[in-house]
Structure 1
Amino acid sequence: MKPGPNCDFLLPAASMEKFSAYRDAGTGIQPFLTPIPSNAPPTTLQIVQPLIYAFAVIRFVLSLIVLAEHLLLQAVILVFSPIPPLYRFLAWLLTAIHCRTLLALAGYGRIKVELTSKKKGRVTTQGEAWSPKAGDLIVSNWCSWAEILWLAFRFNPIFIMPVANAPQQAEEDSMNLTGRRTGTGSAAIHRNGAMQRTAIAGFHRVSLLKILSSLGETPSTNGLPIAGAMSLESIRKDADRPVVVFPECTTSNGRGLLRFVDVFESSHAVPVKGYDVFIMCARYDAPTHWKPSATCSIPKKLPIPLPEPLVQMFTIPFEPSRLTIRLLPLSEGPSSALFLSSDTLVGGGTKDTLSEACSVLISQVGKLKRTGQGWEEKSSFLSFYYTKS
C-alpha cells in the first residue's frame, strides 16, 4: 500500500477499514488513530528486545524519581509565595529543570526549533525574538505530551483545559450508514452521523500534572466540572504568565489539524489589540519501529492513572519520533498592526475570526491540512474505539 499525497505516514489497513467512518471527507486524513510504521519489524529489533525492556524499566524509575522530586520541591517553595517575583522564579526554575530532564530521558535530547515565516519560508533563529509575557496567548496545535513539556520548560505558562457537555449526533444524519456493504454480513456496518457542534462552556486553569494526565480526552470526558468554568478572556486578564491555548480542544495524531473551536469571544477582532498572540506548530516525523510515534490521540485506560510521559517510557524502544517546533514571527501574527485579516479569512461565515486566523496560520507554518473533524467527532470515535478494542 503506497501513501497518497496527503499521507505523512501509514495507518494499519485493518484499522483504516474499521474506522473509515472517521476519515475526513475533504482531505482523506484519519486524524485520530495512532500512526504505526508500514513495514514489518526488523529482526534486530526482536534480538534486542530484552535490552529494550531493561532500558524501559530504568528510564521509568528515573522519570518517577524526577516527577516525585518536582512535586516535593514545588510544595517546599510555597513558603516563598508571599514574595511573588521570587516564587515565580523558583517555580519556573524547577519546572524548567525537571521538564527538560524528562524530555531527555524520553529521547528528546535535542528539539529542533525553527522561526518560520508563512511567506518566506524558514528564517534563522537569530531573527525576531519570541518572548511571550504575562497575559499573552500562545496558540498551538496539540498532538502529544512532548510539546507540553517543551512549553513548560521554555515559558512556564498557564495551561487551561476546556469543558463542555457531551455532544449529540446530528439528527439529519443519524440514520446514515457507513461502512462496506458486501451482502455477506462480513463487513462491519455501523451508524455514525455527523456530530452536532457543541459550544465550549468555559475553561479551567490546570496544573502541569493534570494536563499530562488528561491527554487524548475531550472537553466532555476530561473529568473537569462545568461549574466554575471561566472565559478565556477572564483567565488571560488575571494571568501572571503567558496562557497556552489549544483551540482543537483535544489531541490529534499530527497528520492534520482538527477543526478549531470558537474559543475566543466574538469581540476579539483581528488584528488583536492589548496583548500579543504567538502562533506555534508542533510537527512529528513519521514513525519507525525504532522511533515510534509520540502522539497521543487515544488516552490510555490504565488501572492506575499515570502521566502520559511515564506511560510512554515503556512503549518506545530508545527514543520517539523527532519533534520539530515551528514558531511564527510575532510581526506576522494576528496581533501585528500590519496583519491583514483578508489573508486568512475567506468568505466570512465565522463568528470567531481570531480562531479562524490562528487555524490558517498554524496550517501554513506547519504545512498541515485542515480537516473538518473536531472534538465532537473525537468523542464519538473514542466511544466506538473502546467497543471494538
Structure 2
Amino acid sequence: MEKFSRWRDQGTGIQPFLPPVPANADHSPIQKVFTAVLMIVKPVTGVVKFILVSILSLAFVLLETVGLLFKPVAPLHKLYHRLISAILIRAILVLLGFFWIKKETVSLRRGRSGAGSRAQASSRRAAPSGELIVSNWSSYIDILYLAFRYDPVFTQMYSATLTVRQITLWEALRQTGSYPELSPPAGIETFPLLDFVKDMHKSGSGPVVIFPEGTTTNNRAILKFVPVFKGWSVPETSIEIKIMALKYDYQKFAPTFTVGLDNSYRFGHLFRTCAQFYNTLSVKTLTQEESPSNASFSAIEGLSSTPSGAAIGVVEPVEEDSLGSVMINLMGRMTRFRKLGLNVKDKADFLDYFILRNYGISSSSTVKKTGAVGKKAASSTQGSSRPRRY
C-alpha cells in the first residue's frame, strides 16, 4: 500500500509491518468451484475450532489455578506446569492447523560433515534453566510454540532503558502485535538482561525468551535489534545462548500478526487461523557449537558472511552492540531473511499512522475506542487530548 510507503525499508523495498497479501492468480474453473466450497466450509470449521480453542484455554487457566497448590514444592509445581503446557498448548496448536512443526538444528559452517545427527541430538535435549533463547517474532503462534516446547520465562523489553522484566504467558500473547511499550511504566522494576538471565538460572526458573526486535513483523525480514546486548562480551560464556528462527509458509492466509490493537483484531485473526485446514511452521535452531556463547566462537566468524539479499547500505551498530550485530547476522543467515534498517520505534510510528488512517483524526472519541494512538495522532488532532496507548 502506497499510503504506508514511508515504512518501506529503503535498502530492500520490504514493508515489514503490513499484513502479507497473497498475489492474485488466475484460477481454472475447477479451482474457482473449490474456492467457493471452501468459502462455505471454512466459517463452519472456524466456529467449531474457535470454540474448542476457547475451552482448552479455559481448562489451561483452571489447571494453572489448581497448580498454585503445588507452589510451595517448587520442583513439583514446575513439573505440573510443564505437563499441562505440553499437553494443552500442543492441542491448541493442532486446532490452529499446526499438525506437524518442522524442527531443524542447522550449522552455518560450510563443508561440515556429520553435523546433522549431532545437531538433531542436541535439539532433543531440554533447554537448561537460565538459557537465553533469542528468536524473531511474527505471531502469537511463536509464543504458543515456545510455551509448549520449553515452558520458558517470557520477558518484556524496553528500548528506552535497555532493560527487561518477567511477564506471564498471557501477557506475552496480549503484547503480540500490540503497541510496543518503549519505556517501563512507573513503579515497574526492570533489570539488565544478563543479570536477569543469571537470576533465573540461580532460581531454576527455566530458559528465558527474548525477542530483540521488540515487536512483531510479517515474517519477511528481520528488524534492527534493540541494543539490549550492549556491553556483553563476544563470546558471552557466562550463560548459554540459543539462537532460533521461526518461519511461516502460506498461500492465502498468513498466521503472522503485525497489528493487534484491540480484541477485535486478535479474535478476528484467531478465527481466521482456526478456519484454516492446516498451517505450516518451521523452526530452525543454530547448533550450540556455533552459538556466540561457545568459548571458541569468533565475532569475525559471526560477521564473516551476510545473508542472501541483505539490505544494501544498512550500517549495523557494531560498536554499540557487537553481540547483537553478530546474532542478527547469524539469524539472517539461518533464515535467508533480509536485515532491515527499521526498528521498534518505526513500528510505533507505523501504528500511529495506521490508527489515523483507519479511525480518522477529527474525533478523539473514535480513536479512544481503539485503546491506542501515538504522537502523530495527538499532533494532528486539533483541540483533543492524547488518548492512552494500548
Task: Report Cα offsets for 1:210-229 as digits up to 9, x if no partner.
Answer: 11111112432799657322
Q: Distance in 1 between matches of 2:110 and 2:280?
A: 24
Residue 282 (structure 1) aligns with = 246
For residue 119 of structure 1, report the CA deviation from its aligned partner.
2.5
Q: Distance in 2 between matches of 1:336 and 1:246?
A: 21
- Of residues 182, 190, 194, the one that matches 1:233 is 194
Residue 21 (structure 1) aligns with = 6
- Of residues 166, 170, 175, the one that matches 1:214 is 175
Corresponding letter in the other structure for 2:349: S
Report the secondary structure of 2:105's partner residue.
Answer: strand
In the alignment, is residue 318 of structure 1 matched against residue 256 of structure 2? no
Task: Report Cα offsets for 1:64-115 as digits up to 9, x if no partner.
Answer: 1100000101110111111111110001111111110110000000001111
Unaligned runs of 5+ residues in structure 2 are 305-315, 359-390
In the alignment, is residue 251 of structure 1 matched against residue 216 of structure 2? yes
For residue 277 of structure 1, report the CA deviation from its aligned partner.
0.4
Corresponding letter in the other structure for 2:333: Q
Corresponding letter in the other structure for 1:342: I
Check whether the contact 2:136–2:245 (CA below 8 A) recurs between aligned residues: yes
Q: Distance in 2 between matches of 1:61 and 1:91?
A: 23
For residue 247 of structure 1, report the CA deviation from its aligned partner.
0.4
Residue 347 (structure 2) aligns with = 378
After superposition, the Cα gap between the structure-2 partners of 1:343 and 1:226, relative to the gap in structure 1 and judged at 3 Å, is: farther
For residue 201 of structure 1, report the CA deviation from its aligned partner.
4.7
Q: Distance in 1 between matches of 2:196 and 2:24?
A: 47
Check whether the contact 2:139–2:257 (CA below 8 A) recurs between aligned residues: yes
Task: Report Cα offsets for 1:11-38 as digits up to 9, x if no partner.
Answer: xxxx1x1211111011111111111211
Check whether the contact 1:201–1:226 (CA below 8 A) recurs between aligned residues: no
- Of residues 13, 22, 45, the one that matches 1:37 is 22
Q: Distance in 1 between matches of 2:82 and 2:263?
A: 30
Which portions of structure 1, spanning 4 or more consecutive aligned residues, are displaced by more than 6 angstroms? none
Q: Distance in 2 between matches of 1:351 and 1:203?
A: 18
Check whether the contact 2:317–2:325 (CA below 8 A) recurs between aligned residues: no
Task: Report Cα offsets for 1:154-173 as digits up to 9, x if no partner.
Answer: 11110001235xxxxxxxxx
The number of residues matched between the two structures is 332
TM alignment of 1:47-86, pairs within 5 A: 47-86=37-76
Q: Distance in 1 between matches of 2:117 and 2:59?
A: 33
After superposition, the Cα gap between the structure-2 partners of 1:96 and 1:255, relative to the gap in structure 1 and judged at 3 Å, is: same
RMSD, aligned α-carbons: 2.3
Check whether the contact 1:161–1:219 (CA below 8 A) recurs between aligned residues: no
Question: Relative contact order (alpha carbons < 8 A, sep ≥ 6): 1 or 2 greater?
Answer: 1
Corresponding letter in the other structure for 2:354: Y
Task: Report Cα offsets for 1:161-213 as digits up to 9, x if no partner.
Answer: 1235xxxxxxxxxxxxxxxxxxxxxxxxxxxxxxxxxx345222111111111
TM-score by length of 1: 0.79
Corresponding letter in the other structure for 2:24: N
Corresponding letter in the other structure for 1:34: P
Q: Distance in 2 between matches of 1:152 and 1:47?
A: 35
Corresponding letter in the other structure for 1:243: V
Query: Which has the higher mean CA deviation after the structures are superposed, 48-57 or 29-38?
Result: 48-57
Residue 312 (structure 2) aligns with = none
After superposition, the Cα gap between the structure-2 partners of 1:234 and 1:360, relative to the gap in structure 1 and judged at 3 Å, is: same
Query: Which has the higher mean CA deviation after the structures are superposed, 19-28 or 230-239?
Result: 230-239
Unaligned runs of 5+ residues in structure 1 are 1-14, 165-198
- Of residues 104, 108, 114, the one that matches 2:94 is 104
Q: Distance in 2 between matches of 1:382 and 1:141?
A: 19
- Of residues 296, 300, 313, the one that matches 2:257 is 296
Q: Distance in 1 between matches of 2:285 and 2:22?
A: 28
Q: Distance in 2 between matches of 1:339 and 1:350?
A: 18
Report the secondary structure of 1:365's partner residue.
Answer: helix
Task: Give % identity.
Answer: 32
After superposition, the Cα gap between the structure-2 partners of 1:251 and 1:226, relative to the gap in structure 1 and judged at 3 Å, is: farther
